[in-house]
Amino acid sequence: MKWHEITISTTEEAIEMISNFLHEMDADGVSIEESGTLNKQRDTSLGQWYEHPLNDIPEGHAVIKGYFSELDTDVEALTTALITRIDELREFDIEPGEYTITKAMVDEEDWANAWKTYFKPIRVSERLTIKPTWEEYMPSPDERIIELDPGMAFGTGTHPTTALCLRTLESVIKGDEEVIDVGTGSGILAIGAMLLGARRVLALDLDPISVTSATENTRLNNLQDDIQVYLSDLLGVLNSDQKLNVTVPVDVVVANILAEIILLFIDDVYAALKPGGTYIASGIWKNKEEAVEEGLQAAGFTIIDRQRDQDWIAFVAKKPE
């Protein structure tokens, strides 16, 4: 099936109103891309999580796209109505700038895959490179390749929190560890841990789309015998009678989840680790740094390192021997 894609290049301040207009005009889908800055503070009050692809949109600008069925859309009438409504924004002190509107026809397939344009091989740490499955790449002899098709799941490696975890795993994994990856998303950290020398990884996520994606990526990297992917709310699966591929307590737990969630289950992580085990806690925006630091210490952990990327922090904490 084909779709009309209406693209509006405008200012950031006009995003909310223009995307509302598109919804009111019965768009079947609306996508918003802002400038490639990755460090903006976002509303995470409902647990929302944002991953922006890098792009070439200037700071303060945005590109909004609305998708309308080719079957029942009068695209000329729709564009005229849209221009009228955008021009009216100035009366409400919202400046859409010198906006442009362009129209195109796209296949459903193109629409679902548009984000892939920005996802290129990226060397994320000394030894690890993330390679989208559809890209050609010749690694150097010391590089280990994470083959990835994240689909709708989080975890392309372009987000600072993922990169922080992979770099930290590189210093923590010495060989033969059993690891639990909580909130595995695309499975990227589980795969990274295996490539760095871990023996086995239990990869958990609450979201069925992530479980499917992580399972597929595990297969793409030929690690299906070493990584077990489960649908689990945090460490919930450890309390079930499910047969697991790791023996709890384990050597390493890694979690790249929002600070609010990290704080919820620190005691469970502590219990799931061997004495001397390591907890890599990431996904922490700078305004929650102190709270997580206090939470880790209150649970009994010793903080041995903290890494930063932009305004994000990853803690490396040890359970005493």
**Residue closer to ligand SAM (CB basis): 14 or 193:** 193
- The single residue among 96, 132, 155, 277 that binds ligand SAM, judged by CB under 6 A, is 155
| Nearest-approach distance from CB 107 to ligand SAM, in angstroms | 28
3-state secondary structure (DSSP) of residue 78: helix
Task: Show the binding pattern over residues 210-229: x = contacts ligand SAM (CB under 6 A), - = does not.
Answer: x-------------------
Any bridge partners for residue 312, and if so which? 285, 309
- The single residue among 24, 74, 126, 233 that binds ligand SAM, judged by CB under 6 A, is 233
183 assigned binding-site residue: yes
- The single residue among 125, 129, 168, 184 that binds ligand SAM, judged by CB under 6 A, is 184
**Residue closer to ligand SAM (CB basis): 189 or 201:** 189
Using rule CB under 6 A, residue 129 touches ligand SAM: no
How many residues bind ligand SAM (CB under 6 A)? The answer is 23
Q: Report 268-307 residues binding ligand SAM (CB under 6 A).
A: 283
Sequential DSSP letters for 126-165: SSEEEEETTS-----TT-EEEEE--TTSS--S-SHHHHHH
Does residue 31 contact residue 65 with C-beta atoms inside 8 Å?
yes
Using rule CB under 6 A, residue 261 touches ligand SAM: yes
CA distances, 121 to each of 124, 163, 206 (Å): 9, 13, 28
Report CA torsion sign: 282, 184, 139, 115: negative
Using rule CB under 6 A, residue 162 touches ligand SAM: yes
| Nearest-angstrom CA–CA distance, 1 and 9 | 25
| Nearest-angstrom CA–CA distance, 5 and 173 | 46
Using rule CB under 6 A, residue 183 touches ligand SAM: yes
**Residue closer to ligand SAM (CB basis): 21 or 154:** 154
Using rule CB under 6 A, residue 267 touches ligand SAM: no
**What strands, in cross-sheet order, belong to the sheet with 2-11?**
29-34, 61-69, 2-11, 100-107
Does residue 178 contact residue 251 with C-beta atoms inside 8 Å?
yes
205 assigned binding-site residue: yes
State both tokens at 23.
């919804």
241 assigned binding-site residue: no
- Which residues of the shown chain bind ligand SAM in the complex (CB under 6 A)? 49, 153-155, 162, 165, 182-185, 188-189, 204-207, 210, 233-234, 256-257, 261, 283
